[in-house]
Structure 1
Amino acid sequence: MESQRNILIIALLLVSFLIWQQWTTKDAQPETAQQSSQTTQVQASQGDGDFIPQGDLANGEGEVPTDTSATTAKQNLITVVSDTLKLTIDTQGGDVVRAELLEHDDSLDSDDKFVLLANNANFVNVAQSGLIGRDGPDSNIAGRPIYHSKQQQYVLADGQDSLTVPMTFTNDKGVVFTKNFTLTRDSHVVNVSYAINNQSGEPVQAQLYGQLKQSVNSPDGKSGNMLMASAYRGPAYSSDETRYTKYDFKKVQEANLNQSTEAGWVAMLQHYFVSAWIAPKQEQNQLYSSALNNRGQAAIGFKAPLVTVAPGTEQTLSADLWLGPKLQKKMAAAADNLDLTVDYGWLWFIAQPLFKLLHFLQSFAVNWGLAIILTTFVVRGVMYPLTKAQYTSMAKMRMLQPKLKELKERYGSDRQKMSQGMMELYKKEKVNPLGGCLPILVQMPIFISLYWVLMESVELRHAPFILWIEDLSVRDPYFVLPVLMGASMFLIQKMSPTTVTDPMQQKVMQFMPIIFTFFFLWFPAGLTLYWLVSNVVTITQQWYIFRQLEKKGLHGNKNKAES
């Protein structure tokens, strides 16, 4: 077996796998609103009554108005600013119609902050909440309630740990509903609570809901380039039955989510960032979704249990809203399993330790690029016994080439006897023909895992390395790293003489470094840096191991075997 050829073939299959992932992601894009309108009509006629056809929210014990678009002819907006968030809240309904993340720039070297939620003409992404049920103000057929706020702007002052923004609405029976938004310093969790003060003579029934509504089509119409898998954008949820499930826009259009769970959360995910409603804990909540095909939008939300507030009493209902980056520790503290929105795919059990190692090394190195280099050293160091076994196997296989040639001449076209003779020879010489492939087979899952670590870890967004590499999460702007990576692959080929005699195979092998250089032009600079450093370590280890084998006489017949 020619180990170097197999290594390159396996690596090529890896890159092809990543391209295939991207292709299937694009293939799974949802239908447009016009294409799926017929499907919606069928669902409406066959539904079980739990959802309003083409409405925004589910019917519970009380109906929710079908129009919760968070826009009015004369919007009255208030602004709330903390150290991490800048929120814009519409007083009609009290929905968050814009959220800026003050610790994250929109783009590299930009003065604008990243906008997580927005309510624009071409793209809608808002966080809505309210009270439905018989006496819920959001069940009023005349429209959603208009809350009163004493100020137009609220700012978390220096030395202040939290900021509460009260908004009040009084219905025609004299029941006062106070909607409070509470922001805490150094936190991306917004607590949204309703204080129901029932000074009427009758019981008040209300039910808390929260939902995230988003346009199905991306605002720029892009979903990643041809050679790179794009991060998931769309709904997700967590429940008793499943810790984390992506419920993409296509699924929303095909079937409405309707699941009861204790606690749980619903979310809208995108690259590096997430907005999520965290349902009340220790309560039985209902998770739902709804396709608003007449607007090209989809919603996912929760409904808390119906409560009854007796006359002359007050009761508070609340839920948390996460608006921020995918910070695993903080999300895990905010809600169970919310950190799983950092989606490392099916190799998460490798990616998680890699991220922890990368994060640990960065705490010393400070620079994320140096942390990637150190991670490469650690990974290749751990794999050194396998690498040594690989090159020892390669050396022994080269030594056996003359004997294998003799077997071929002896048995000719008799494949059965040829195979038996080869197996006896391998057993006698204690050679494992697959030994040269094992290290690369181990390295491929590590490569895929690190790919998703670099793709999903917001910590690497806009993280610089040195000189021209200002962002490790995107491609090298001048393609220096891919070219160096290709050169290192070429050098590895030169150091590992091939036994391939077929001219066509030889040409394919010679072009492998060029093919890989082309693929890596679009890969994140951090991933290309890892592969480049890994190749440099491979060259060093290969040189050292071959020298040791030569001293033992295992590598001395290399030239003879090749001739």
Structure 2
Amino acid sequence: MDDQNKNLILAVVLSGIVLLAWTYFFPAPEPVTDPNAVVVTESATGGSVAVTPPSDTATFGATGETAEQVEDAPRIEIDTPRVIGSISLTGGRIDDLSLKDYKVELDGDEIVTLLSPVGTDAPYYATYGWAPGGALNIEDVPGANTLWTAPAGARLTVDSPVTLTWDNGKGLVFEREISIDADYLFTITQSVNNTSADTARLFAYGVVARHGTPEVSKYFVLHEGLVRLSDKELNEEKYKDIADFDFSDREAGRASIIQVEENGWTGFTDKNWMTTLVPAPGQSFTSVAKYVGNSDIYQVETRMPTVEVAPGSSTETTSYLFAGAKEWETIKHYEEDNGVYRFVDSIDWGWFWYFTKPIFRILHALNGLIGNMGWSIIVLTLIIKGIMFPLAYKSYVSMARMKELQPEMEKLKEAAGDDREKLQRGMMELYKKNKVNPASGCLPLLLQIPVFFSLYKVIFVTIELRHAPWIGWIRDLSAPDPSSILNLFGLLPFAAPDATSFLAIISLGVLPILLGISMWLQQKLNPAPTDPSQAMIMAWMPWVFMFMLGNFASGLVLYWIANNTITFTQQYLIMRSHGHKPDVFGNILRSLRLKKKDA
């Protein structure tokens, strides 16, 4: 490949990287909504009611209770095939939830805890209630600290919902029915019966509150924090950005308030888990995200339209709460069967979502057939290489011809001496005469870049690869290869260095070493660059990649090894079919003999 073509390709690649980086680190500013603005919603009587969002965070966020109040409150047990926990009758909060199918550590017994009550190290919970309007006061409606009642022996299971009741003593009786399916979806039905002589004006809300800033992964490719859909707009904000919404500073106008007309949801997402408020499909609501600075609470809310309940009448509203693992199949089920619009987009598919989504679907389907994610990755690699083969074929043919021209190129190099311009002219004439395009080898590599990043995203983000085994020592494809050359891959009686140790950089496992070897073998099939500096860079590249990818997820390294092996095989066979018989292993042995002789 001549310098002009190389520079052009390099410029295109670098420009794309700069554009992506600029878009990621310097996104276009979003319009800020004033939290003091009046929100107009439809009333039950057909007119419109102006509602100013309340400034009292205790109404929506449970900031006034003590740990003792929560700890001493009666609880209702939750027990389903996939989750276990309890509901506090203080506020009727869903604040104790663990996932039966997922362990914290691969070899441990502790299961993952998603939601925790006030008084624990990291309180995280969902609560519901009603906000007053008209002549009603805060004490007239149930809030975050209201003590509800429930039937004796009530227990929430898949087959038995529970109903909470609270009477305000002034003619309004509130009920909240909570049910749960076999996976992670709670259904919350809130109702109010007006037995008083006055019309009651109020609106229902749901809240997910998270006390303190949670620990998040330090990877720019992974989003953790706010995730919400507002009609057709997907919005993601990291915790540090949510803190800039400080709702206590009302004049700053930094609370993020969006009026959703038909479909939406809002919540907090971690790498593998999510807690999301989901109003009924087609329901208009106000989506709120804020940080309560004086209490250090991150909070999302869904506020339903204001309703007027006439004397002797009642009203109810139904919404959902997703609290569980971000399993693609489960979330897709809620999207298709429950009508939760674009719920699959709550999974962080990334910039290359048009590659990431289909790659994951194929991988998921293969795993369903094979039953092993490692072998599924290898089969997926075969499929990708098969799709790219027509383009790769031209590239390999061109490389075979360039390999055949290597002796003539060496003669040109000797004849040109230090005259690089003469060498370039001679090489261009040689390429033209033999109908060889040196740039054709770069296009397959460029096409592999988005595929590589997409697969990296799939392996790193999706929960389906968490703790997924392959063979032998590879028991978690989402984690680095646990073996280490420093203890001779387990033969010596001491453990490999911890991932946080400096020695972890050189503590290469079996898979990274195989990666370096596969890249080196593949390189031996290609013509060596005529420029000594470029030749040296290419010679070091396999071993640099070996160390760079040494601490990447095993599944990604496995893909790269499979890709290199298949590429080597394809290229070797195509070169032989065109009359060139590459003696890769013979060249390696001769090279080693020459080095030994020189030494």
TM-score (norm 1): 0.81
Q: Residue 175 of structure 1: CA displacement?
A: 1.4
Alignment CA distance shift 1:179-1:421 (3 Å): same
Task: Report the 3-state secondary structure (helix = DSSP H, G, I; strand = E; otherwise coil) of the residue aligned with 1:74.
Answer: helix
Q: Could you tell me how far apart the structure 2 residues matched to 1:430 and 1:206 are?
A: 78
Please state if 1:482 is matched with 2:475: no
Aligned to 2:269: 269
Distance verdict in 2 for CA 1:234–1:320, change over 3 Å: same
- The 5-angstrom pairing of residues 160-239 of structure 1 reads 162-184=159-181, 186-215=182-211, 217-219=213-215, 223-224=217-218, 229=220, 231-239=222-230
1:368 paired residue number: 373
Tell me the residue number matched to 2:131. Answer: 132
Q: Give CA-to-partner distance per residue, 1:359-409, whole Å, 9 cap, x none.
A: 121121111111111111111122222222222111223444526964995
Q: Deviations over 1:262-294 (max 9, x none)?
A: 231102111122111012333321111111122
2: CA distance, partners of 1:69 / 1:384: 59
Residue 236 of structure 1 contacts residue 266 of structure 1 at CA under 8 Å; is this kept in 2? yes
Deviations 1:75-119 (CA, angstroms, capped at 9, x unpaired): 213322222222432212212112212222222133222112223
Cα 1:526–1:171 change in 2 (3 A) is same
User: 1:190 is paired with a residue of what secondary structure?
Assistant: strand
1:530 pairs, out of 559, 574, 595, with 559
Amino acid across the alignment from 2:129: G
Across the aligned residues of Structure 1 and Structure 2, the Cα RMSD in angstroms comes to: 3.6
Aligned to 1:148: 149
Structure number with greater CO (CA < 8 Å, separation at least 6) is: 1
Q: 1:88 aligns with which of 86, 89, 98?
A: 86
What SS is found at the alignment partner of 2:81? Answer: coil
User: Aligned pair in 2 of structure 1 residues 339, 316: CA closer, same or farther (>3 Å)?
Assistant: same
Q: Deviations over 1:146-201 (max 9, x none)?
A: 11122466152xxxx532111111002131101111112x2311011112111111
Q: Please, which of 396, 399, 402 is the counterpart of residue 401 of structure 2?
A: 396
Q: Secondary structure at the match of 2:274?
A: strand
2:255 is paired with a residue of what secondary structure? coil
Q: Is the 8 A contact 1:178 1:194 kept in 2?
A: yes
Distance 1:102 1:473, change over 3 A: same
Q: Take 2:304 and 2:263, find their aligned partners in 1: how far apart are those partners?
A: 9
Would the alpha carbon gap of residues 153 and 488 (structure 1) be closer, same or farther in structure 2, given more than 3 Å must change? Answer: farther
What displacement does 1:209 show? Answer: 1.1
Q: Is the 2:127–2:144 contact (alpha carbons within 8 Å) kept by the matching residues of 1?
A: no
**Conserved? CA contact 1:259–1:287, under 8 Å:** yes
Secondary structure (helix, strand or coil) at the match of 2:294 reads coil
* Structure 2 residue aligned with 1:118: 116
With over 3 angstroms needed to count, the CA separation of the structure-2 counterparts of 1:115 and 1:207, relative to structure 1, is same
Counterpart-to-counterpart distance in 2, 1:485 and 1:399: 27
Which residue of 2 is the match for residue 31 of structure 1?
none
1:129-528 to 2 correspondences below 5 Å: 129-134=128-133, 135=136, 144-151=145-152, 154-156=155-157, 162-184=159-181, 186-215=182-211, 217-219=213-215, 223-224=217-218, 229=220, 231-242=222-233, 244-254=234-244, 255-261=254-260, 262-328=262-328, 329-333=332-336, 334=338, 335-401=340-406, 402=408, 406=412, 415=421, 425-478=430-483, 479-502=509-532, 504-528=533-557
- Identical positions, percent: 28
Q: For 2:197, what is the secondary structure of its paired residue?
A: coil
**What is the alpha-carbon distance in structure 1 between the residues aligned to residue 36 and residue 515 of structure 2?**
58
> How far apart, CA to CA, are the structure 1 residues paired with 2:235 and 2:108?
34
Shift of 1:535: 1.4
2 CA distance for matches of 1:94 and 1:60? 25
Which moved further from structure 2: 107-116 or 170-179?
A: 107-116
SS of 1:163's equivalent in the other structure is coil
d(CA) in 2 for partners of 1:355, 1:440 = 21
- 1:70-109 aligned at under 5 Å gives the runs 71-72=65-66, 73-75=68-70, 76=73, 77-109=75-107
| Residues 326, 339 of structure 1: 8 Å contact kept | no
Q: Distance in 1 between matches of 2:138 and 2:36?
A: 25
Alignment partner of 1:363: what SS? helix
Aligned residue runs from structure 1 range 5-24, under 5 A:
none
Distance (Å, rounded) in 2 between the aligned partners of 1:74 and 1:138 = 18
CA 1:62–1:357 in structure 2 vs 1: closer, same or farther (change >3 Å)? closer
Q: Check 1:437–1:303 CA distance in 2 against 1; reply closer, same or farther (3 A cut).
A: same
Report the CA distance between 1:336 and its aligned residue: 0.6
Q: Pick closer, same or farther for the CA change 1:429–1:497 going to 2, 3 Å.
A: closer
Q: Secondary structure at the match of 1:247?
A: strand
Cα pair distance change 1:122/1:380, threshold 3 Å: same
Equivalent pair of 1:132/1:206 in contact (CA under 8 Å): yes
* Structure 1 residue 475, shift from structure 2 partner: 1.0
Looking at structure 2, the residues matched to 366 and 149 of structure 1 have their Cα atoms a distance apart, in angstroms, of 44
Match of 1:33 in 2: none
Are 2:412 and 2:423, in contact at CA under 8 Å, matched by a contact in 1?
no
For the residues of structure 2 that align with 1:487 and 1:515, how far apart are their CA atoms?
11
Which moves more between the two structures, 509-518 or 521-530? 509-518
CA distance in 2, matches of 1:109, 1:406: 62
SS in 2 for 1:436: helix
Q: Provide the secondary structure at the position in 2 that maps to 1:133.
A: strand
Superposed displacement of residue 441, structure 1: 1.0
SS in 1 for 2:441: coil
Structure 2 gap segments, 5+ residues each: 40-49, 245-253, 484-508, 588-599
The change in CA–CA distance for 1:62 and 1:152 in structure 2 (over 3 A counts) is farther
Partners of 1:155 and 1:253 lie apart in 2 by: 35
TM-score w.r.t. the length of structure 2 is: 0.77
Asked if the contact 1:64–1:139 (Cα under 8 Å) also holds between the matched residues in 2, the reply is: no
Q: Secondary structure at the match of 2:315?
A: strand
Tell me how far apart the structure 2 counterparts of residues 172 and 87 of structure 1 sit (CA, whole Å).
Answer: 31
> Measured at CA, do residues 496 and 422 of structure 1 come closer, stay the same or move farther in structure 2, by a change above 3 Å?
closer
Q: Answer yes or no: is the 8 Å Cα contact 1:65–1:140 preserved in 2.
A: no
Asked if structure 1 preserves the Cα contact closer than 8 Å seen for 2:280 and 2:318, the reply is yes
Counterpart AA for 1:154:
R
Question: Is this contact kept in 1: 2:225–2:269, CA < 8 A?
Answer: yes
